C-alpha cells in the first residue's frame, strides 16, 4: 500500500505499473468555476453528467482554466490520479500548476498544455512541443477537437463542461488505452 492515499487511490497506484484492462482517462478543460459556485467541499460546480464521467475515471486530466484552488482541490480529492496544467485564467494557480506536463498512463505518453495556438499549423506545432507523446490534450478555445495529428499522434481538446461558447454542447473528452497503447478518444456531451 502507498501511504496517505484513499483505498481507491491506493488500488489505482498499484495498478499503474501493470494495467491489463482498459484505462479510462477523462479530460476536462475550461471549467472556469469560481469558488462562489461551489456549494461545499464535495461540489465541483459542473453538471451531474460530467461528474458521472469523473467517477468512472482511472485518470483525470484538466487542461487549464480551473480558475480557483477550491475546484483544483476538489478534483484532485475525487480522482484516483489527477493532473492539471495552468490556463490563461488561472491567476490564483501560478506557481502551483505547470504550463506544460507529460503524464504516462498504461505506457501511453500524454502531453498537456492549455493553449495550443491557432488551428492552422496546430498538429505540427504540438508535435514539436511533445515529440515523444502518443496523445496531446489541450483546451483554451472551448471547441472540441478529436483528430489525428502528425506521425500518429492524437490530438484532443475536450471542449468545456461549463461554458460551451460557440461549441454545440457542453463536453468532456474520454481516452481509453488498452494493453499499453492508445486505443480510442471521444468527445462526450454532458
65-81 pLDDT, tens digit per residue, is 999 888 888 889 888 99
Q: Who has greater pLDDT, 1 or 107?
A: 107
What's the confidence (pLDDT) of residue 184? 96
13-27 pLDDT, tens digit per residue, is 444 444 457 999 999
Q: What is the 3-state secondary structure (H, E, C) of the chain?
A: CCCCCCHHHHHHHHHCCCCCCCEEEEEECCCCECHHHCCCCCCCCCCHHHHHHHHCCCEEEECCCCECHHHHHHHHHHCCCEEECCCCCCHHHECCECCEEEEEECCEEEEEECCCCCCCCHHHHHHHHCCCCCEEECCCCCCCEEEECCCCCEEEECCCCCCCCCCCCCEEEEEEEECCEEEEEEEEEC
Angle between helices 48-55 and 69-78 (to 10 degrees): 40
- Give residue for cell 475525487: 78
Q: Which domains can be identified in the chain, with CATH numbers? A: 21-189 (3.60.21.10)
- Give residue for cell 502531453: 111
Q: Does pLDDT of 40 surpass 60?
A: no
Amino acid at each position: 500500500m502507498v501511504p496517505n492515499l484513499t483505498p481507491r487511490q491506493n488500488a489505482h497506484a498499484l495498478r499503474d505499473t501493470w494495467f491489463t484492462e482498459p484505462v479510462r482517462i477523462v479530460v476536462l478543460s475550461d471549467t472556469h468555476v469560481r469558488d462562489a459556485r461551489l456549494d461545499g467541499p464535495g461540489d465541483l460546480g459542473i453538471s451531474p453528467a460530467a461528474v458521472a464521467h469523473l467517477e468512472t475515471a482511472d485518470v483525470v486530466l484538466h487542461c487549464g482554466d480551473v480558475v480557483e484552488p477550491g475546484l483544483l482541490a476538489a478534483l484532485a480529492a475525487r480522482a484516483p490520479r489527477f493532473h492539471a496544467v495552468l490556463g490563461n485564467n488561472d491567476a490564483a494557480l501560478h506557481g502551483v500548476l505547470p504550463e506544460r506536463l507529460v503524464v504516462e498512463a498504461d505506457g501511453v505518453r500524454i502531453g498537456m498544455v492549455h493553449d495550443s495556438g491557432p488551428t492552422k499549423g496546430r498538429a505540427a506545432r504540438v508535435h514539436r512541443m511533445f515529440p515523444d507523446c502518443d496523445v496531446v490534450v489541450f483546451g483554451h478555445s472551448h471547441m472540441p477537437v478529436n483528430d489525428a495529428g502528425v506521425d500518429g499522434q492524437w490530438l484532443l481538446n475536450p471542449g468545456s463542461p461549463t461554458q460551451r461558447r460557440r461549441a454545440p454542447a457542453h463536453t468532456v473528452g474520454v481516452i481509453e488505452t488498452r494493453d499499453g497503447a492508445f486505443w480510442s478518444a471521444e468527445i462526450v456531451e454532458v
